[in-house]
Structure 1
Amino acid sequence: MNRRVVLAARILAVLAVALMTGWAALAVYWSDIPGPTTRGLLAAGVVLATVLAFALTRRRARTLAAYCLAFGLFVLWWSTIEPSNDRDWQPDVAVLPYGEMHGDSVTVRNIRNFAYRTDTEYAPRYYDKTFDLSRLTAVDLIAVYWMGEAIAHVMLSFDFAGQDGICLSIETRKERGEDYSSIMGFFKQYEIIYIAADERDLIRLRTEYRRPPEDVYLYRTRLSPENARKLFLEYVREMNRLRGKPEFYNTLTTNCTTNIVRHFRAFGDTVRYNWKILFSGYTPLYAYELGGLDDAQPFEELRAKSYVNPKAREAGDAPDFSARIRLGLPGMEASRAP
């Protein structure tokens, strides 16, 4: 029994060291140390030094203790890498939105409404708009699929009766020349941005201009008007906070779905973290299971009816785009006004 315990402990130690070393090597490679060649050599050096340290010493327990101390110092250095709002941003994420709250009204500045020619060619356009919280009646969940059923980008759209509404999307804030990578998202490669935009911008970008087009599903939630207002204010406060204090995006802990859950929990909602949140493509199913979506039909039937790509293409740049894509969707008998 003792031998088995010792063997199991050794195997766990080897796995832990391998994972820690792999993470440290990638962290160095994608750090802010100048020069890709320098970073590559340092990353290789991390791996080589670890292998030699354990291969050339007999007192493995002492080596392990020294390794853990060195890893702790590395994490301390890693923690000194700070996010910034001052970088050469891609134009679509260059301007930060923010809100000004005055009683029951909120003025959102820098709402995006780009005129797209392709997904990378567009005329930047922004505007400001004041919303009356007393008219906030509903929240819609938008799930966008681009790489299978398990992964989706999740956005929320807030419906102010008679005022059209506003869509809020939590995204990576990329610099010029950067592409998105889930792996790089673990290593402080992107800041996070809350984009406030028209649905004509955020949805048409995905259904009409990206190649291949992404699949967009729109669901009416059962969130009460009171909680919808609390959630909207949570978003506005976070937009304002990030404007003064930037934050890194993290593929696992700080992304488009985990942050939504955090905002719900901030005002006492009971929604919990779940594997369906981590595998974001299942977020609509999770909301359905919690009773947050129309449950008058099986989820697969609801999902099929919530697919909006054909309606979005037909609506084009129409001023009543939001109303048109909602026609006939479950739970949306009252469409948005243009």
Structure 2
Amino acid sequence: MSLRSLFSRLLSSRSRSRLEHSRVPNSSLPSHDVENTTSDSKQPEPTWRHHLLQLFIAVTLVLSAIWLLLAIWYQYGIRSAVTWLATIAIIGILAALVSTRCWNALKKILLTQSTSNKQIAHKEVATKRLIGLYAAIWLLGVGSFFSIEPKQQRDWMPEVDQRVSYERDATNPDLITLTNVRDFDWQTDEEATEHWNTRTIDLSKLSGIDVTNSYWMGPLIAHTLVSFRFEDDRPLAFSFEIRKENGESFSALAGFFRRYELSLIAAEERDIIYTRSNARGEQVYLFPISNLQQNEVRTLFESYLTAADDLNEKPAWYNTLTSNCTNIIFYMARIVSGDRLPWDYRIWVSGWLPNYLYDVGMLDAAPEKDHQPWSMDTWYERTHINPKSKGFDNQAHQSATLNSREFSQQIRQGIPIPLLADSQDSAEANANAKSMAHASD
């Protein structure tokens, strides 16, 4: 037999044996071969990390969708075609994602069999495409949202229609003439006689600061104002507020979504405090700040002038969390006082701002001559101005100046007014001592 014939017979017999072997059922194979064959078709079971990642992705998608929908609703209105189209698109994509995942999971349970590699591949491709489409829509919406610019010209409500501005005296830089100081005569919470005045103040006569908290939405939320006292003149109040348009109402939730421009109001106290305590019936408290030097008070006043310049040059958005009536004041005050005003969560919970001032030593621990320390409850009791302002006649005098002076004196009855500190060292020492006393109490 030739060598060629030998190899030919060997190859043909090997092919027949392979064919026969392929016809043998799996049950006839050794157990370890069956295990190897079936294990190749099985997919690895998902780990807890895989499930945690899926949960994180799901929560991220839902929260981002809620944020985007709220932003669209507040910008375009609930009846806008843009709002409805965006809502349908976003909810439709998320529903498709959920149905894709749930259908495959349900099919696996009902058929009690593992999903094939081809099915898994199709599922993953569909999921990635849906997520990619959603990401494109979301990025488009976010880009559109951040491109919205605040405006100076709108149909503003009368109380925020004007913008405060100022000029310095050419011969005496301490003399500041403020234009558009609000001095409305409020009859009700919505009706008032408009007055925008010009007022000249002397920075060398600054004698202190009072912080006013007006509670209108429970104990956690308050509107914060700052009043500057003068030695021989009535106080002047500043307030960061939303600049509402006619027919517009405030919503804390809408304040997250570039719905309101920011406004700085300079006003007489008989206007901006009276309207809250008397016309609106809010609960108002006035806290005199202690342990301050005159240069600190002056620097804070200058900060308000700078803020007025910035807003007049370029409008800005109000934000419920990052740029509201309370934390903007804190940002400016911290530039003045530094570490004496440490960061604290109560800066963002405006209703608790007085407690924060008490703890850092900015409210005198023993303001009366008997040196008996005041608790925070005592401070709230003594500084509650509603009983003092009740029945105040806002038209008692023909002169608005006399009315303003009388109102400011009346709401401070029974409130000890601290003197300015002689030096920074004494101010810091007193504040630290009182802060430690509060902590020990």
Under a length normalisation based on structure 2, what TM-score does the superposition of the two structures give?
0.71
The answer to whether residue 69 in structure 2 is matched with residue 25 in structure 1 is: yes
**Residue 80 of structure 1, CA deviation:** 1.0
Task: Supply the AA of the counterpart residue of 2:178.
Answer: V
Query: Judging changes above 3 Å, is the alpha-carbon distance between structure 1 residues 10 and 174 closer, same or farther for their aligned structure 2 residues?
Result: same
Native 8 Å contact 1:326 1:332 kept in 2 = no
Residue 41 of structure 1 is aligned with which of 70, 74, 84?
A: 84
**Residue 35 of structure 1, CA deviation:** 8.1
Distance in 2 separating the partners of 1:55 and 1:114? 56
The DSSP-based 3-state class of the residue aligned with 1:164 is strand
Give the stretch that moved more between structures: 7-16 or 285-294.
7-16
The DSSP-based 3-state class of the residue aligned with 1:86 is coil
The DSSP-based 3-state class of the residue aligned with 1:192 is strand
Task: Supply the AA of the counterpart residue of 1:226.
Answer: N
Native 8 Å contact 1:29 1:39 kept in 2 = no
The answer to whether residue 333 in structure 2 is matched with residue 264 in structure 1 is: yes
Give the stretch that moved more between structures: 8-17 or 283-292.
8-17
**Residue 70 of structure 1, CA deviation:** 3.7
Counterparts of 1:166-205 in structure 2 under 5 Å? 166-205=236-275
Task: Supply the AA of the counterpart residue of 1:98.
Answer: S
Query: Judging changes above 3 Å, is the alpha-carbon distance between structure 1 residues 298 and 268 closer, same or farther for their aligned structure 2 residues?
Result: closer
Distance in 1 separating the partners of 2:82 and 2:244? 20
Counterparts of 1:239-258 in structure 2 under 5 Å? 239-258=308-327
Residue 306 of structure 1 is aligned with which of 377, 380, 383?
A: 383
Task: Supply the AA of the counterpart residue of 2:327.
Answer: T
Distance in 1 separating the partners of 2:72 and 2:265? 30
Distance in 2 separating the partners of 1:82 and 1:69? 22
Give the stretch that moved more between structures: 283-292 or 67-76.
67-76
The answer to whether residue 297 in structure 2 is matched with residue 228 in structure 1 is: yes
**Residue 56 of structure 1, CA deviation:** 5.8
Task: Supply the AA of the counterpart residue of 1:76.
Answer: G
Write the deviation string for residues 270-326 of structure 1: whole angstroms up to 9, x where unpaired.
324422121110011111111111222111111111101111124432342111211
Give the structure 1 partner of residue 55 of structure 2.
Answer: 11
Native 8 Å contact 2:77 2:83 kept in 1 = no
Native 8 Å contact 1:140 1:156 kept in 2 = yes
Task: Supply the AA of the counterpart residue of 2:74.
Answer: W
Native 8 Å contact 2:240 2:325 kept in 1 = yes
Distance in 1 separating the partners of 2:51 and 2:417? 58
Write the deviation string for residues 97-133 of structure 1: whole angstroms up to 9, x where unpaired.
1222342222211110101121111110011111111
Residue 86 of structure 1 is aligned with which of 148, 153, 171?
A: 153
**Residue 24 of structure 1, CA deviation:** 0.4
Give the stretch that moved more between structures: 265-274 or 241-250.
265-274
The DSSP-based 3-state class of the residue aligned with 1:165 is strand
Native 8 Å contact 1:100 1:107 kept in 2 = yes
Task: Supply the AA of the counterpart residue of 2:387.
Answer: P
Write the deviation string for residues 119-153 of structure 1: whole angstroms up to 9, x where unpaired.
11111001111111111110000000011111100
Query: Judging changes above 3 Å, is the alpha-carbon distance between structure 1 residues 82 and 272 closer, same or farther for their aligned structure 2 residues?
Result: farther
The DSSP-based 3-state class of the residue aligned with 2:273 is helix
Residue 71 of structure 1 is aligned with which of 113, 116, 138?
A: 138
Residue 217 of structure 1 is aligned with which of 285, 291, 294?
A: 285
Give the stretch that moved more between structures: 282-291 or 61-70.
61-70
The DSSP-based 3-state class of the residue aligned with 2:298 is helix
Give the structure 2 partner of residue 331 of structure 1.
Answer: 417
**Residue 208 of structure 1, CA deviation:** 1.3
Task: Supply the AA of the counterpart residue of 1:261.
Answer: F
Unaligned runs of 5+ in 2: 1-45, 101-122, 367-373, 395-402, 421-441
Native 8 Å contact 1:315 1:325 kept in 2 = no
Task: Supply the AA of the counterpart residue of 2:65.
Answer: T
Give the stretch that moved more between structures: 2-11 or 143-152.
2-11
Residue 150 of structure 1 is aligned with which of 212, 217, 220?
A: 220
Native 8 Å contact 2:244 2:260 kept in 1 = yes
Task: Supply the AA of the counterpart residue of 2:59.
Answer: L
Distance in 2 separating the partners of 1:47 and 1:71? 9
The answer to whether residue 100 in structure 2 is matched with residue 100 in structure 1 is: no
The DSSP-based 3-state class of the residue aligned with 2:223 is strand
Segments of 4+ moved more than 4 angstroms: none
**Residue 268 of structure 1, CA deviation:** 5.6
The answer to whether residue 134 in structure 2 is matched with residue 134 in structure 1 is: no
Distance in 1 separating the partners of 2:322 and 2:227? 22
State the superposition RMSD in angstroms: 2.2
Q: Provide the aligned length of Structure 1 versus Structure 2.
A: 331
**Residue 26 of structure 1, CA deviation:** 1.0
Native 8 Å contact 1:168 1:196 kept in 2 = yes
Query: Judging changes above 3 Å, is the alpha-carbon distance between structure 1 residues 20 and 35 closer, same or farther for their aligned structure 2 residues?
Result: closer
Write the deviation string for residues 33-92 of structure 1: whole angstroms up to 9, x where unpaired.
488332441342243243145236532456445534442332121111100010001111
Task: Supply the AA of the counterpart residue of 1:160.
Answer: F
Task: Supply the AA of the counterpart residue of 1:266.
Answer: I
Give the structure 1 partner of residue 184 of structure 2.
Answer: 114
Distance in 2 separating the partners of 1:21 and 1:108? 46
Under a length normalisation based on structure 1, what TM-score does the superposition of the two structures give?
0.91
1 or 2, which has the higher helix percentage? 2
Distance in 1 separating the partners of 2:337 and 2:360? 15
